[in-house]
């Protein structure tokens, strides 16, 4: 299904932001908040993994029901998961479209990666595992 992906700050993201190697940070930044009706249509429950495909790649997140988001949209806390699929175009402003990306979401059996795994996929070397 197609969705409009929005990203932003959450308290839990802010609390764990100085500890990016933690499971808590990975859990928060890989959460895809979705309207319950969309979850029904997609056939997923709270905590199920979903494959989110954006214009420059795909990443596995976990879905969570939210009364805050509108049908047809998803919200993902700022972080390396959302940015894994965000395009770098800035339309000559310096600012990418962090809050408005069309994504395709489908259920998956894969598990979300940890932050260091995502970084190693992009050519980095994790300091701590």
From the list 103, 66, 64, the residue with the least C-alpha distance to 82 is 103
User: Which 63-92 residues touch other proteins, going by CB under 8 A?
Assistant: 67-70, 73, 75, 78-80, 83-92
Q: Does the footprint of other proteins cover residue 53 (CB under 8 A)? A: no
Which residue, 109 or 129, is less far from other proteins as judged by CB? 129
Residue 65, class by beta-carbon neighbours within 10 Å (0-12 exposed, 13-18 middle, 19+ buried)? middle
Which residue, 95 or 109, is less far from other proteins as judged by CB? 95
Q: Using alpha carbons, list the distances in angstroms from residue 65 to 25, 36, 76.
A: 19, 5, 12
Q: Does the footprint of other proteins cover residue 124 (CB under 8 A)? A: yes
* Interface pick for other proteins out of 27, 48, 96, 108 (rule CB under 8 A): 96
Which residue, 102 or 107, is less far from other proteins as judged by CB? 102
The full DSSP string for 48-87 is -EEEEEETTEEEEEEEEE-SSSPTTEEEEESSHHHHTS--
Q: Does the footprint of other proteins cover residue 57 (CB under 8 A)? A: yes
| Dihedral-angle region of residue 48 (phi above 0 means left; psi in -120 to 50 means alpha; beta otherwise) | beta
Which residue, 29 or 32, is less far from other proteins as judged by CB? 29
**Calpha distance 86→71 (Å, rounded):** 21
The least distance separating other proteins from the CB of residue 42, rounded to whole angstroms, comes to 19
Binding residues for other proteins, rule: CB under 8 A, are: 4, 6-11, 14-16, 18-21, 29, 56-57, 67-70, 73, 75, 78-80, 83-100, 115-116, 119-120, 122-128
């Amino acid at each position: 299904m197609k969705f409009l992906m929005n990203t932003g700050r959450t308290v839990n993201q802010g609390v764990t932001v100085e500890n990016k190697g933690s499971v808590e940070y990975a859990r928060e930044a890989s959460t895809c908040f979705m309207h319950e009706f969309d979850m029904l249509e997609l056939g997923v429950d709270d905590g199920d993994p979903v494959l989110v495909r954006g214009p420059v790649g795909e990443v596995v997140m976990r879905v969570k029901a939210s009364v805050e988001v509108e049908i047809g949209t998803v919200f993902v806390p700022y972080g390396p998961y959302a940015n894994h699929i965000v395009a770098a175009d800035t339309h000559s402003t310096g600012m990418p479209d962090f809050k408005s990306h069309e994504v395709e979401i489908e259920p998956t059996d894969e598990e979300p990666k940890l932050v260091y795994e995502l970084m190693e996929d992009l050519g980095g070397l994790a300091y701590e595992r």
